């Protein structure tokens, strides 16, 4: 499979993960900073949380990893959490802002 196609599939799967406090998927919220796929189809995801005290700090990264591991052709998935740069409301996509009534 083509790496770019698989990266897009990974992003589509990430869009099925939701932050429980904000009714929008974590990709549209801007919580995913990077999706990298190496030549062996190992996925590395760099993500943040809305705050270090986020109630799903333990479960959300695991949910993302589990869903990505379930994609055919993905060999492994690893989520790394960072707070640099810290998440802020401006990272939410325009489309998500419209859905949330923020525009």
Is the Cα torsion angle 88, 80, 57, 41 positive or negative in sign? positive
Domain 3-86 has CATH 3.40.640.10: no
What is the mean pLDDT of the segment spanning 20-48?
94
Query: What are the domain boundaries of the chain?
Result: 3-86
| Buried residues in 30-62 as b, exposed as e (16+ CB within 10 A) | bbbeebebeeebebebebbbbeeebebeeebbe
Q: Contact, 20 vs 61, CB < 8 A?
A: no
71 Cβ neighbours under 8 A, 6+ residues apart: 6, 9, 10, 13
pLDDT one-digit tens code per residue, 70-96: 999 999 999 999 999 999 999 999 999
Q: What pLDDT, on the 0 to 100 scale, is given for residue 29?
A: 95
Q: What is the pTM of this model?
A: 0.92
């Amino acid at each position: 499979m083509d790496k770019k196609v698989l990266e897009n599939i990974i992003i589509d799967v990430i869009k099925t993960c939701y932050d429980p406090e904000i009714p929008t998927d974590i990709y549209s919220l801007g919580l995913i900073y990077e999706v990298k796929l190496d030549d062996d189809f190992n996925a590395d995801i760099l993500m943040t949380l809305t705050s270090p005290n986020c109630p799903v700090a333990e479960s959300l990264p695991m949910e993302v990893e589990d869903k990505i591991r379930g994609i055919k052709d993905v060999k492994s998935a690893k989520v790394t959490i960072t707070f640099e740069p810290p998440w802020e409301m401006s990272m939410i996509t325009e489309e998500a802002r419209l859905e949330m009534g923020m525009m």
